[in-house]
Structure 1
Amino acid sequence: MFRDYAAGKAPRTIAAELNKEGIPGPGGRPWGDTMIRGQADRGTGVLNNTLYTGQLVWNRCSYVKDPSTGKRVARPNPMDQHEIACVPELRIIDDELWQQVKARQAVVRTEMGKDETGNALNRVHRRKFLLSGLLHCGCCGAPYAVLGKDRFGCSTHRSKGTCGNDITINRQRIEARVLAALQSRMLTPELVEHFVRTFEDEVTRRQREASSTQARLQPQMAAVRRKLGGVLRAIEDGAWNDSLKQRLVELEVEKQQVQDQLAATTAPDNTVRLHPNAAALYAAKVANLQASLNDETIRSEAAESLGNLIEKVVLTPDAGAPDGLAAELHGDLAMILTLAASPDSAKLPGISGSKNSRSRSVPGSQLSVVAGARFELTTFRL
């Protein structure tokens, strides 16, 4: 590994060759590039293990608890705090090869720390794209990760070479395919109009239920108060005994229960209404959906919202599919798209459909959908 890296091979290439040769990694797991390159300041990874040079190092890191998560976090200690012991019997790498590896690591760290414009790469890594963390390989299940500028690819194929899926996809292309499903099937004026009508009907229904419940509870509350008044008058007249005491406690408990039920049946504010032209306004926004969601000022918020609707998008090699990848969408949004594409979608009052888990193609979107377990039949999530 040291000789190959010093000669110019990348850690992921070395890992792929080891896996191809059937050489097991730590714990019997397949090799990954991070197992080889590790982190120099923490001494992790094969290429940073000083045991191979006959040195045993302690106190590289301190561990503190993150108060926000409760998890232990490693903090590298300064070099002057490291404790070093010589164990020459463990040396297998000579100083010359060790220094060659360190020199190449320094060069690679400098080269990879900048993009083609000279900006720090960590700024690019911190950008949150619309489908970040949602794309998965259909062959091995691993996440699709950013492999270069605006391209996603299977992370296992890249880091370990154990997955045969070598097809990458342009970020804008896969975003367009997913968002096209929203534009063509989910966010149509007809569905928005249905949402407006259902919202109004739901508000009216809840108001009727609240009024009915209050009409039933208010006489009950009046009766409890009359009974309490009778007990209190008896006590004032001097008729105090254990039975009256017990009855007073029972009536106070009943009164509190009725009060709690009345408090829980507050009718919805009948002034809350959707704009009558909401469907038309929404359609105008949807026309530029992709550009709007990629606006830097709202991209993170938009990605978070999509993440709440989409469980995952599975990309599987398919020569007949656009970009060579068949895309299958799983999650709450998938169920909504399935309902929207259904011939019965015009008969949606109450969304009284079943949780169909079968995959269904969405015409015009180059995407198929699979209903997720999280979908709530009373929720539109538009």
Structure 2
Amino acid sequence: MWMIGGLSLPPQITFKSNRPNYVRVAIYARHSTDRQATSSHDQISRCEAYCVAKNYQITDIYHDEAFSGAMMENRPGIASLLMAAFDNRFDRIICEDLSRISRDQADTANFFKKMMFVGIEVETISEGVINELHIGLKGTMNALYLKDLSDKTHRGMVAAVLRGSVPGGRTYGYEIVRGLDENGGVLHGKRKIVPAEAETIRKIFTMYQSGEKLRHICNALDRMGIAAPSGGKWAPTTLVGTRVRKTGLLRNTLYRGIVTFNRMQYRKNPETGKKLSVMRPESEWIRVPIPELQLIDDATFDAVQAMLDERSSKAAEYRETAKLRDPVETEAMAKSRIRDWRERQIKTAGKVSALFAGRLKCAHHNVRMGAHWADRYSCKYHQCANRAVRYAELIEAVITAALRLKPDDIRAFYDSDAMERKRQRHQTHLEKSHQKLEELRNRAEHALSTFGLGSDTKELKAWFEDNTEQMRLTRLDIEREKRALADLLAPTNIREIHSRFVKTINKLMIWSRDPKAVTQLRHTMKSYAITAHWDPDGKRWYRTCEIEYDFPAMVRILGQRK
């Protein structure tokens, strides 16, 4: 018997609390690449089923698409999760396993300490509730996984080079071979010689070996109507590159029939998470002969390398002089360089802090909405519903509208009849420009064969200068039409572009005035039309947004490889 206040109660009677018996949880998911077997959506589904079985109440879901686990910096999903944790929006974090949070030991430990500080537990499907033992053991295992993955990737690349593959992208003088091997797999790293470009390479080596200056070689190539690898004019740095990293056309060992690999290694800055290239010692470089790709004979290549080293003697002399310089003078020069650098950074165009600044329109009156005071924007018509609208409400409507964009919308823009007509028009102009350039070249060859190389009359010189100028202008037209045509072609990585667009929009959900995100997105959107709607139930106005996109600009900015 139980005695309460002198009364005896039977043992089967118990007291029940009115307090709800549930745990508020937030789900977090992450996957590294689109090729990964388990996506973040699969992880979220698994975590939701786990929460249902545990009788947890799901309050928030956060995820990071195609983000590496090596660094927590610049991941919008984990940043939003941290902010919500400090706002006490949930009691526990659920994820598939600890590596979804991070594979870096320091990041994992730091995240765990923050959660302990705010009293939030971390629970994974694989390990259960996380404690200090998991942080030590699993953190070490995840870090070792990253190191092992890096070693295997590097070993695979070295093995591919030893089998005759050429790493990297397109090299001037060669083009990438597309096709399948004898086993039906995709060919990787195979190259073949481009005859016209190979002839240009031989001409450059011959001119340099004869003692021509770099600027004279560049001018001669421009006069002959030969485009540089970038499509524009030739520059001395294109030919010689940098002495330390052995870059530039004249230093490229592939022209000698030797692939030089393993020159660089990449390390992540622990503060920013960005990759930095570091030169390996020359003793670790791997050189593999590929004689079928040789363009320059060994004697010519060695002679040119000797001349490059000799002409670099002035730079070596400057470095030796710097070693003998007084430390006080060296420090003064360094401070001067830093001061000049800071001045250049300050002298930049004014940055826009609002995504829709200057491009906001009232859809009811088709007029611009301006910022009139504080953080409020208004249509100029006094009776309009779009009066004194707060910035927070506008940016919410803009973000909601931007997240409605789908990859199919981008594809439909490029598949439209208007875009096809534009492409046909530029293609026609491009063909005419090519035909004109060929005619100018034929005229120049005919003139040379008629008058001979020794002709030196003023009239002939004037004629050649005029013909050269016409060729230059025609080449500019060709490059301009090529760029215009490339902007009008549908990109092959539309889903990747859309994914980057969504990630940039997600940054605005963390901080709506993020300078980097605002700068990128302003180039991809032309205008924002705001429509006001009356909610009779809530007795309030709410607003929606229609965005006019600049898809070619979006492809140029977000379609580049990172």
Q: TM-score per shorter chain, which class? A: 0.3 to 0.5
TM-score (normalised: structure 1): 0.35
Larger relative contact order (Cα-Cα within 8 Å, sequence gap ≥ 6): 1
